[in-house]
Amino acid sequence: MPKSALTGSRIREHRLMRGLKQADLARQIGISASYLNLIEHNRRRIGGKTLLALSEVLGIDPSTLSQGAERAVVTQLQDAAASDVDTLVELDQIDDLVARFPGWAAKITAQHRRLRALEQTVGGLNDRLTHDPVLSEKMHEVLSTVSAIRSTASILVATPDLGTEWQARFYSNIDTESRRLADSSASMAAHLDVLSRKDTGRATPLEAVFAAFDARGHHLVELEEGGDPHALATQLPEIDSAEARALALQYFRTYSADALAMPLDAFEAAAHELNFDPAALAGRFSVPLEAALRRLASLPRGATIPDIGLVSCDAAGALLVRKSPSGLALPWFGAGCPLWPLYAALNAPGVPIRRLIEGEDGARFTAMALAHPSGPLRFDRPPVYHAIMLLVAQDDQQDDPAIPVGSSCRICARSDCDARREPTVLTQA
């Protein structure tokens, strides 16, 4: 399996360029040489204070060490390998491909994204052909008109001795229905033409909304500055349909409410003071815990802010919000790993759950999950719950036991997993 981001390799490279011994560098930043060795071999995730200390000693910007582009390319190459089960690829050499041939790696991932976009477009069009009410109505008009014309023509053929008056009526009916058929066919063709031009790669409104979030790092500057959620929903290029705009408006209103209750500067300062503890932050700002979890995930990326991911699901387990942290890819479709605390939270609504989890490449995260009502509670109907899970990257040295998790069963190579629901396409570890 690919390792986590190549931050460790870059640290080793800059250390050797400066002629520093591993033990000397470890001593200067206050960690053990064995732990630094694990970092340099990409076997331990790094961030926060340790990353800042290393960058200071090495005399380089923290972003130079922690840039996330390579992790994204590795994840996309893994996704590309999983999508083609008939071709065997050297999964254990993906890191080397990215490091030695970044141009080719970028080319492969770009082609894979294009193929996936086309597949999603075809899937979306197929779904439209099946469920589109406009198309169903037009098809019904065409079929009913064809049936009417056929019935009228059959009467004319089967009854040659019809009087002149009746023949004129039937011919008039055929003419009227033929014109109706032409209009319905043209209308249906125009509707299909509109659908065929939507080559966005986003098959559903939800994908369009989170394409907009992903493009901005889940930090919406316009709403941080008090912008209008409705205006933003109509301005972003990723949100290209009425359905997507309606859905985006819901998420943007929630974002605006969170930003208003927890202003960015005050919240970021409090997050550092309280060590990014969502429960403490919820108490500080008098907001529900799920709001503090969302707000932490909306912080802008920075050297002093840990790598934070967020995922949420509905009561059926289908993923809604997806913000992937480095080292743990989140699937685009269906459900995620059954071992995620996200799903455990659904079994205990209202009870906060905190677990240490470990991805397949050794990246560790503190996962904090909560199931909460998705709307107001009412006496006349059962509550509907959503679950939310914050993922905060860890770079501590303790060998605390962690729950081994994956992305989804399809691209998880862990062997002997009791939660597996389908075979993997990868080599079992």
> What residue segments make up the domains of the chain, in order of their start?
7-111, 132-196, 306-429
Res 288: pLDDT: 96
- Residue 241's pLDDT band (cuts 50, 70, 90): confident
Question: pLDDT digits over 65-117, tens only?
Answer: 665 445 567 666 776 776 665 677 777 777 777 767 777 887 887 787 777 66
**Between 252 and 114, residue with greater pLDDT:** 252
pLDDT exceeds cutoff 70 at 5: no
Angle at the Cα of 319 from the Cα atoms of 85 and 279, rounded to 5 degrees = 130
φ/ψ (deg, to 5) at 133: -65, -35
- Residue 248's pLDDT band (cuts 50, 70, 90): very high
pLDDT exceeds cutoff 90 at 370: yes
Residue 178 · residue 149 · CB < 8 Å? yes
Q: Which fold has domain 7-111?
A: 434 Repressor (Amino-terminal Domain) (1.10.260)
pLDDT exceeds cutoff 50 at 377: yes
Residue 342 · residue 385 · CB < 8 Å? no
Question: pLDDT digits over 310-338, tens only?
Answer: 999 999 888 888 898 877 778 766 678 89
- Residue 202's pLDDT band (cuts 50, 70, 90): low
**Between 184 and 283, residue with greater pLDDT:** 283
Q: Which of 340, 351, 280, 271 is nearest to 310 (CA)?
A: 340
Q: Which residues contact 172 (CB under 8 A, 6 or more apart)?
A: none
Residue 287 · residue 257 · CB < 8 Å? no
**Between 51 and 396, residue with greater pLDDT:** 51
φ/ψ (deg, to 5) at 323: -130, 105
For residues 6-24, give the mean pLDDT: 84
Report the C-alpha gap between 278 and 276 in whole angstroms: 6
Res 83: pLDDT: 62
Residue type, 170: F
Residue type, 262: M
For residues 124-136, give the mean pLDDT: 60
For residues 106-129, give the mean pLDDT: 68
Best-predicted range by mean pLDDT (174-178, 303-307, 346-350): 346-350
pLDDT exceeds cutoff 70 at 285: yes
pLDDT exceeds cutoff 80 at 133: no
Helix (H, G, I), strand (E, B) or coil at 372: strand
For residues 237-248, give the mean pLDDT: 88
Res 429: pLDDT: 47
Q: Percentage of residues in the chain with pLDDT exceeding 70?
A: 81
Res 4: pLDDT: 41
- Residue 211's pLDDT band (cuts 50, 70, 90): confident
- Residue 422's pLDDT band (cuts 50, 70, 90): confident
**DSSP run (H or E) holding 394:** strand 385-394
Res 124: pLDDT: 55
Best-predicted range by mean pLDDT (181-185, 364-368, 407-411): 364-368
First to last CA, the chain: 8
Res 345: pLDDT: 95
CA–CA distances in Å: residue 396 to residues 35, 44, 356, 366: 9, 9, 12, 11
Average pLDDT of the chain to the nearest whole number: 81
pLDDT exceeds cutoff 90 at 191: no
Among 56-60, 83-87, 224-228, 292-296, name the one with the lowest average pLDDT.
Answer: 83-87
For residues 215-221, give the mean pLDDT: 88
